[in-house]
Structure 1
Amino acid sequence: MHYFYESGENHMGFPIKEFIHSINQFETHWHEEIEILMVLKGSINIRVGNQQYTLKEEDLILINRNEIHNTFKTEEDNVLLAIQINTSCFDHCYVNLNKIHIDCKSFQCKKEEQEKFNRIKQRLAKIVWELNKKRKGYQLLIGSEVHLLLVDLINNFNYTLLEDNTLLSFNKETQRLQNIIQYIHQNIEGGITLQDVADSQNISIYYLSHFFKQYMGFSFQEYINYIRLDKAVILLTNTEQKITEIAFTSGFPSTKALNTCFKEAYNCTPTDYRRKYKNTPNTKKGKIEELRSRTYLDVDRNMALHLLFKYLELPEKNSKDNNPTYTLNEFIEINADDQVKEFLPFWKKLTCFGRASDGLREEFRDQLRELQKDIGFEYVRFHGIFCDDMLIINLNDNGDLVYNWYYVDKLFDFFKEINIKPFVELGFMPSEFGQSDITVFAWKANITLPKYIFLWTNLVKEFIKHCINRYGLKEVETWYFEVWNEPDLENVFWIGDKESYYEFFKETAMAVKSISPNLKVGGPSITYQTMIENNWLDEFFKYTITHQVPLDFVSFHIYSESYSSKKYAQDLWVRARKGEDAVSLLNSWKDLKRIYHDKDHTYNTIVSANQKINEFLQEKPEIHITEWNASSYGRNLINDTCFIATFIIYNVLRSTGKTDSLGFWTFTDIIEELKMGISSFHGGFGLINKDGIKKPSYYAYYFLSKLGHTIIDQGEDYIVTKEQDNIQILAYNFAYFDDLFIMGDTSLLTNEIRYLSFEEKPGKNINLQINGLSGNYKQISYELNRENGSAVDEWIKMGAPENMDKDEIQYLKGKSYPKVSIEKKELKNSYTESICVPVHGIVLIVLEKLI
């Protein structure tokens, strides 16, 4: 339970403060500002003075200055919007504003009176929208909305004007009340009586009793019971204590007293409350402080702000008009003979897909062939080379172990055919070798340790020997062998602790090196969160040094998301491996609160990895990021948008020289970790959707593949390269997520509305001049943006059809290609061009020297 007098600086220099939060416990507070509360989800109880109300979704109430109010939860979860306005800032334009006491309670008015409340809600929505988007001049827009909000309150609602002597008396009384409450909370644990409090304030019991009732709205004993009740709720949802124990631990004289208070507050018994809330992910085995610090991100809030923003006139589902109309101009002058540095295509080193057996499917092969033809990656990484669906482990009639490499050969022969090498993730465990049948993914990957380590190491050795016999030692020595996948996620991808993985890595690495010391083995293929947040990687490095374990490369994964509950994420995977219904899992996965890092998260993580490696290892190994994407959720609707194309280019150009590879997860939507997505554009990871339609992200790599190997100039939003006499200019307009989306709110992201969750940025106009170019050139210009080359935007224009026929798919394939224009230019020592790049857009210009 909390009580507090709220104070603090105005939000970002404005006369307002904004909160989006959840009420999870009994709170008493008051503040100098007027406060408008709106329930966005669920319901809450609130007591203002002597009056108690229950507010439901969309209900709104105004709390006046220094008006004491108590909030406490109902049996429902809740999300609230609170806007506090410092009326002292408006004294210069409305002298008596600080003395006004306004009556504004939507739930007490009839339906025909709700229009005036809807205007208030519209003002609140505009304020939240502008604070989130931070458009140019947003400070002025917010200021105007606050003024208009106050005008609406004064003109449309009843109010009383308090006299000066009344205000002075009220301020004295609130200060006394603050002292009383502070004393209660400082002494509640040792037991406290009304006499104790009266003595501390030098007043009589009779005066204290009436004073407390008058200003708090309930008696001293009721207040004490609320504090005890708050403690009982925490014990109910976080411990296994019996109801009788909880009653006495919380300070109630009996179980009956606890039951009485519980029924009054929550309309149910303590047992019923525990049954309902005990096993929810947010409270299961949680710590008391974790429950106390709960925010609105810890409840299902996907539709919370949707409820608020319905009072705004948002852009239509495929409108491009939600971005600023003004354009930023940039002037760049460079020389064609400048050579800033070499540009090595490290991003082309590695691409990824879901599992080995996918590579046996014809539609998958068609996509990878086209990817290689257009771009040409050097390596490909995937899960499950040893999984059961590859049919490697067999027993003959005598019961002897026999390896069958037929499907492995089919897969690797295909790789050889299209000129791509395997980046072999050694995993998962064949079920015949595993200690148990615990699996992950819809395709049942066994994640346990082997029954006997020699079964595993013999498999690894025989696999490598077979590959050498088929493809030659020289070839296989160019491959990479990565030991397992994300063993740091215990009970998700690894049934064991970190020490067991260290030993497993050593045995596997030694097995690889026993075939040839020139074979490249590495790992540990962990998540960026583990690498940054604890000493897992540090101890791994120490182990390899102490035990002289070979480590040719270090691998890890980077996604832009963090999680408000890593335990909840792990619980979902545990449920998945136990075979829970896929629909139920998908719904739970949607409810997982994904919180995004800032736009430079990829770069900063790679820098941190380099620092750790330099700290622990004398000889620096290669660094490979073997999974990377903006999202780790294969149903995130941003994955189909133009945003991902600019995300790829921004991060690739930022990370140049910091890592040896940056493997995008994945090149295709043909992936079945949670079963294949049903919709054509379901937010899958891939550069290509399941129908073979190329997404904007595909063309990010296509454009990068056309850049030269020498950088002439590079800025925040462009790069100019050279290859012999040819020049390549790549410009992009990268807009990251807005504040609400970063903090996990997905209210503005739907199947047909996919661009309202990004920061608002203007278009860019880059005026470029390259000196030192003469002769005849062919200029090829490519434009990728929401109007040109975005398949998902075209699909939405079509009406977002599902189960498309061949003609519809072929139509979208044609529309997915960027706009191309070609012209010849005769240059006389200078090339000039004005490049217009809309937000989420990319422009590539290639100047080819003609003979």
Structure 2
Amino acid sequence: MENKSIPLEIHIRHIGVESMTIVSKLSFLFVLSGNLSLLHNGKLISIREGDIYIINKNDIVSVPNMTDNMVMTSHLWAEGQFKLNHPLSLVYMTEAYEKISSCLSQAMSEYIKKEEGFKEVLLGYHHQLLGYLYRYLPQIKGTQDTTHIQLSDKITELVDYILKNFEKKITLDDLSDRFFISKFYLAHIFKEEVGLSVGQFIKQVRLTHSLELLYHQTYSLDDIAIKSGFPSTRAFRDAFKEKYEVTPAQYRIVHTDNSNEELSFELSEQEVYQLISKYTQADTVNHVVGNSYEVISEVIDTGLSMHTEHFYLEGIAKLDIMSKSNMLPNIRQDLGMKYVAITHPLRKIQAVYRKDSWDIQLYHLYTELNLVISNGLYPYIQIGIEDFDDFQEMFDLPEIAWIRLFDTLNQQISQRFMDTSQWYIEYRCFYENVNGGELCLPLVRLIQDTSHMYQVIIHLPELPVTHQEIEQPVMVIDDRSRVRTYDLADILKRLHHMEHLEKIAENKNILFQQLALNHFIHLEEDEHYRPLISLITANQTLWFFNIKLDNLSTHFLQPTSIDGTSLYTYFPKELSQKLALMSEVGVYHDMWYAYQFKTSLYEEVIYQTEFFILTRQGEDYRLLAIYPEKKITNLETISTEMIKQQPFMLLEIKLLSLTGKYKKTVKELSPYTKMEHAQSITWMNDVNLSQEDIDYINGLSRPKRQVEVISTNDILNLNIQIPILGMVYIDLKKIK
């Protein structure tokens, strides 16, 4: 029988290397100093100082390496399992963190003092902690609900046997014979109580043990495979790769134990009070956050004849023109875009082939072109492999008919629209979703015939490096939306080079898009990140844009989904919807404003760091600052590494050689403004939105804006405080 005399078991201790065990009660781990890395159900979890992690009853836990730490451990008598993807912290589930950290610290204080009635007080804290779990953390649904019950004596024995003998060959028949139970009943009751099949449980135990051994460089991979119970190194490698998506060798490079020395820790009562004091405040978060700033200081002399770079960013609006034509003025006025994509032209005409000539009616194509032009925009016509596929499916005619069809189409466009010199026409001539890649020659043969009508752009996976003299200019766009001018004859030859097919055959674009989609799906499954997903998307997009500007003296033509329209033929529709600037009904996402921030920057870049970019035009300046949550910026995984990041960033920027008066406009998007907006429109998903509703919601969701007039005599100090996931745009306009 377990002792229930103390209703809330709570201790402060150092946690060193601990072997694999099944946790018998729901447990809190509150790291008061140092850090702690543990293996929880086969997943490496890194817990920083101040963070709190929760482990459910019957979870498998081990601590693979020795670290310098002091951890408050607390155990609750609780039925139920709770889902926590990352440790609670100042930046992850902040409200839950504030309540639970304060409650644990006050309970620890009561436990130390042991004054009259302390058990009753601890019982109150026990119920309070349990209440916070139910209030803030989602409960685990489905098959794992079965682990809410106490393991039976028989299954406890069986689990204990597996934990002690996992390195040996274990079969269901062996377990059946050893524990005198039908293997069919054993399999059923084990799955019912543990939540995993016997085979799955054994495999998880072996993989967890292998992670412990990988921390130590003394074992080879062959040794680890044998010591972990795998029949061969290959079986170990395959199982490890399937579970963790990296090989054991790759994992070892990143996770290596660098501290094997024995550490000794003894705490006085006074030292315990010092550890918990900052968490026992009434407002834990504000108290702890007091000095929780990542301070970045920069001094920039704007008067020096410094080397500056330039970038030119143009957006190509991708949207359903017919149903969203009312958005075209906003695209021009609010977003500053000049181009709208016109796709699949053959689906928007009627054509009949008679005696080697075409009779075509443009109908819908004319309508789309007229809508674009009448709103002060230019068409960006995209011709790709789908168009040739459409031609073959619709007409089943020889290639010469394909050439004549586009000749006729271009003739009618030139007759209807007198000046098309500002229009773009882009050719994507590769089958990019075919293994090995393939060049569509009929598309290539169209290029020469349209170079006199439009500004021609040809897609290649990468911008070529060439010093060919330009006789007839043509633009090339690569997979990063970078554009440069080359010689047309040279590029037409380069289309046939094998290096492009080899690049396409790597499928990097498609793999990257799938990673990005999985990344956003993973975030949406997290209770903390789900309400912030629009802000996260905008924040990460701006941050990636900033850090990827490795060659600023470049022209960018960036396709941008306005309403969820796919960006390319092979681009996942679901990912386009997540990156869209607005919803299908017209509610602006945070991406709308992020795009405004990005495209409002001046072309001349005079200073750039990881977190901000400063641009100039004459005596005016524009600055964009972004503070991402770094553990979610890696598309391949949500990081569990010990990333040290403060809840706020303080940019201290000193601009020298500035004099006179400036109008300073500050626009901010942050989790705080986001949550304020969300509280005002809780009804949004429950009704059919009218245009008045949409306008109201869009008005509320605008960035927080402040305007002031400032005077400076040589030095202007900008102190910019940005919360994690925040973005700040500053416009400094000289008052003449």
Kept in 2, the 8 Å contact 1:646–1:842? The answer is yes
Kept in 2, the 8 Å contact 1:646–1:700? The answer is yes
Query: Structure 1 pair 522/83, CA: closer, same or farther in 2 (3 Å)?
Result: farther
State the superposition RMSD in angstroms.
6.1
Letter of the 1:712 counterpart = I
Match of 1:507 among 427, 431, 442: 442
* Residues 1:648 and 2:541 aligned together: yes
Shift of 1:729: 2.5
Separation in 2 of the partners of 1:798 and 1:340?
53
Shift of 1:413: 2.7
Kept in 1, the 8 Å contact 2:341–2:380? The answer is yes
Match of 2:607 among 690, 702, 713: 713
Query: Structure 1 pair 451/395, CA: closer, same or farther in 2 (3 Å)?
Result: closer
Separation in 2 of the partners of 1:419 and 1:507?
33
| SS at structure 2 position matched to 1:458 | helix
Kept in 1, the 8 Å contact 2:671–2:725? The answer is yes
Query: Structure 1 pair 365/85, CA: closer, same or farther in 2 (3 Å)?
Result: same
Kept in 1, the 8 Å contact 2:608–2:614? The answer is yes
Match of 2:405 in 1: 459
Match of 2:77 in 1: 116
Kept in 1, the 8 Å contact 2:346–2:391? The answer is no
Match of 1:849 in 2: 734
The percentage of counterpart residues that share the same residue type is: 13
Number of equivalenced pairs: 506
| SS at structure 2 position matched to 1:823 | strand
| SS at structure 1 position matched to 2:581 | coil
Kept in 2, the 8 Å contact 1:557–1:626? The answer is no
Separation in 1 of the partners of 2:603 and 2:341?
25
Match of 1:360 in 2: 322
Match of 1:393 in 2: 350
Query: Structure 1 pair 338/466, CA: closer, same or farther in 2 (3 Å)?
Result: farther
Match of 1:666 among 556, 561, 564: 561
Separation in 2 of the partners of 1:763 and 1:668?
32
Separation in 1 of the partners of 2:24 and 2:325?
53
Match of 2:425 in 1: 480
Kept in 2, the 8 Å contact 1:730–1:845? The answer is yes
Separation in 2 of the partners of 1:840 and 1:807?
30
Map 1:740-751 onto structure 2 (within 5 A).
Answer: 742-743=636-637
Unpaired runs of at least 5, structure 2: 1-13, 27-39, 43-57, 109-149, 152-159, 190-233, 246-284, 483-493, 501-507, 525-529
Kept in 2, the 8 Å contact 1:765–1:837? The answer is yes
Query: Structure 1 pair 290/482, CA: closer, same or farther in 2 (3 Å)?
Result: farther
Query: Structure 1 pair 379/646, CA: closer, same or farther in 2 (3 Å)?
Result: same
Query: Structure 1 pair 127/616, CA: closer, same or farther in 2 (3 Å)?
Result: closer
Kept in 2, the 8 Å contact 1:635–1:683? The answer is no
Kept in 2, the 8 Å contact 1:643–1:840? The answer is yes
| SS at structure 2 position matched to 1:689 | coil
Match of 1:425 in 2: 382
Match of 1:376 among 322, 332, 336: 336
Shift of 1:370: 0.7
| SS at structure 2 position matched to 1:33 | strand
Match of 1:209 in 2: none
Separation in 1 of the partners of 2:706 and 2:87?
42
* Residues 1:34 and 2:12 aligned together: no
Query: Structure 1 pair 509/790, CA: closer, same or farther in 2 (3 Å)?
Result: farther
Match of 1:489 among 416, 422, 433: 433
Shift of 1:402: 2.4
Shift of 1:475: 0.5
Separation in 1 of the partners of 2:448 and 2:322?
29
Measured against aligned partners, the alpha-carbon deviations of 1:620-646 in whole angstroms (never above 9, x if no partner) come to xxxxx9999894589965796222222
Match of 2:4 in 1: none
Separation in 2 of the partners of 1:379 and 1:626?
24
Measured against aligned partners, the alpha-carbon deviations of 1:707-754 in whole angstroms (never above 9, x if no partner) come to 233223222212222211212222221224549985489xxxxxxxxx
Measured against aligned partners, the alpha-carbon deviations of 1:84-104 in whole angstroms (never above 9, x if no partner) come to 2469999x99xxxxxxxxxxx
Match of 2:584 in 1: 690
Kept in 2, the 8 Å contact 1:783–1:819? The answer is yes
Letter of the 2:61 counterpart = I
| SS at structure 2 position matched to 1:837 | strand
Shift of 1:405: 1.7
| SS at structure 2 position matched to 1:489 | coil
Letter of the 2:721 counterpart = C
Separation in 2 of the partners of 1:38 and 1:333?
56
Query: Structure 1 pair 87/473, CA: closer, same or farther in 2 (3 Å)?
Result: closer
Match of 1:82 in 2: 60
Shift of 1:431: 10
Shift of 1:513: 0.4
Shift of 1:219: 5.6
Kept in 2, the 8 Å contact 1:381–1:424? The answer is yes
Shift of 1:687: 1.0
Measured against aligned partners, the alpha-carbon deviations of 1:670-716 in whole angstroms (never above 9, x if no partner) come to 67999xxxx9x996432122333322211122223332332232222
Match of 2:625 in 1: 731
Kept in 2, the 8 Å contact 1:382–1:423? The answer is yes
Give the stretch that moved more between structures: 408-417 or 836-845: 408-417
Kept in 2, the 8 Å contact 1:771–1:830? The answer is yes
Shift of 1:815: 0.8
Kept in 2, the 8 Å contact 1:350–1:381? The answer is no
Map 1:258-269 onto structure 2 (within 5 A).
Answer: none
| SS at structure 2 position matched to 1:660 | strand
| SS at structure 1 position matched to 2:77 | helix
Kept in 1, the 8 Å contact 2:339–2:378? The answer is yes
Kept in 2, the 8 Å contact 1:487–1:498? The answer is no
Match of 1:699 in 2: 593
Kept in 2, the 8 Å contact 1:339–1:710? The answer is no
Query: Structure 1 pair 721/739, CA: closer, same or farther in 2 (3 Å)?
Result: closer
| SS at structure 2 position matched to 1:556 | coil
Shift of 1:393: 3.0
Letter of the 1:468 counterpart = S
Match of 2:688 in 1: 803
Query: Structure 1 pair 429/480, CA: closer, same or farther in 2 (3 Å)?
Result: closer
Match of 2:315 in 1: 350
Kept in 1, the 8 Å contact 2:560–2:580? The answer is yes
| SS at structure 2 position matched to 1:843 | strand
Kept in 2, the 8 Å contact 1:791–1:815? The answer is no
Query: Structure 1 pair 468/88, CA: closer, same or farther in 2 (3 Å)?
Result: closer
Query: Structure 1 pair 848/686, CA: closer, same or farther in 2 (3 Å)?
Result: same
| SS at structure 2 position matched to 1:702 | helix
| SS at structure 1 position matched to 2:653 | strand
Query: Structure 1 pair 640/380, CA: closer, same or farther in 2 (3 Å)?
Result: farther
Query: Structure 1 pair 616/670, CA: closer, same or farther in 2 (3 Å)?
Result: closer
| SS at structure 2 position matched to 1:648 | helix
Shift of 1:836: 1.4
Separation in 2 of the partners of 1:61 and 1:433?
51
Separation in 1 of the partners of 2:296 and 2:185?
66
| SS at structure 2 position matched to 1:804 | coil
Shift of 1:134: 13
Measured against aligned partners, the alpha-carbon deviations of 1:257-279 in whole angstroms (never above 9, x if no partner) come to xxx98998689xxxxxxxxxxxx
Separation in 1 of the partners of 2:534 and 2:669?
11
Match of 2:359 among 402, 406, 411: 402
Unpaired runs of at least 5, structure 1: 1-12, 17-31, 41-59, 63-79, 94-113, 149-156, 159-169, 186-211, 223-259, 268-286, 299-319, 438-448, 491-496, 532-536, 559-601, 603-611, 618-624, 746-757
Letter of the 1:116 counterpart = W
Query: Structure 1 pair 635/293, CA: closer, same or farther in 2 (3 Å)?
Result: closer
Letter of the 2:655 counterpart = I
Letter of the 2:593 counterpart = Y
Shift of 1:38: 10
